[in-house]
Structure 1
Amino acid sequence: MILEVADIEIDPAKQKEFEEAILRGIQTVISKAKGFQGFKVNHSQESPGRYLLMNYWDTLENHTVDFRQSPDFAEWRSIVGPFFLKPPVVEHFDLVGKSA
């Protein structure tokens, strides 16, 4: 399983609207993507305009090819992209260990 982490920065004044948009985008677009396993969205307490979106994929290619190169990616970006102050920083991670 691959963890995709997107570090997102928005205008803090648009927090409520962004939170509604990101959850709607995940539920209506990303959740239907091949290899998608789940997500978490966290909001920073110290930086009110910062969010971390963590998506879980079966493979790296499920995100980078199957999703990002599909029309669904454009739909996703049309929902959340208008809130971004700059392009999100996205990285992919392999699990090394976890607690029970």
Structure 2
Amino acid sequence: MSLQNYMILEAVILPIKHGLESDFEATFKKASKILSSMDGYLSHELHKCIEVQGKYLLLVRWKTLESHTIGFRNSVEYQEWKKLLHHFYEPFPTVEHFEEIEI
């Protein structure tokens, strides 16, 4: 894979507290503006699980792993992101990063 196509996919299952799903979705729309303004951000998607109420999948594409783990997480903007969203999660989600393989 060429360096210009290098990309990291952040994948997170977000377990949202029962009854707060609508509030979470509305708040996430606001928080998305924070995410999309970050250096190294490429795109993101939020998916709602059909089978399990309150379960969401967040996929974020970053230019590099450090764009997320250092740039975003050490930013002032991340503090706002946390304030907006972290109280919705139960339990707190595990964040994993993936790189595409050529097939």
Same fold (TM over 0.5): yes
Cα deviation digits, residues 19-74 of structure 1 (max 9, x gap) = 111121012x1111110001010011111111111010000000000000111111
Identity over aligned pairs, percent: 32
Structure 2 counterpart of 1:21, from 17, 27, 38? 27
Counterpart residue number, 2:52: 47
**SS in structure 2 opposite 1:12?**
coil
Cα distance in structure 1, aligned partners of 2:46 and 2:20: 16
- State how many pairs are aligned: 97
Matched residue, 1:62: 67
Q: Which SS does the other structure have where 2:25 is aligned?
A: helix
The structure having more radius of gyration, on CA atoms, is: 2
Instruction: Provide structure 2 residue ranges, at least 5 long, that are not aligned to the other structure.
Output: 1-6
State the 1:11 CA deviation. Answer: 1.9
Unaligned 5+ segments in structure 1 are none
Write the distance in 1 (CA, Å) between the matches of 2:102 and 2:26. 32
Supply the distance in 1 between the matched residues of 2:10 and 2:88 (Cα, whole angstroms).
20
**Structure 1 residue ranges, 4+ long, deviating more than 2 angstroms after superposition:** none
User: Aligned letter for 2:89?
Assistant: F
In structure 2, the residue corresponding to 1:53 is in which secondary structure? Answer: strand
Aligned to 1:7: 13
Q: TM-score, normalised by structure 2?
A: 0.88
What's the C-alpha RMSD, in Å, of the aligned pairs? 1.3
Q: TM-score, normalised by structure 1?
A: 0.91
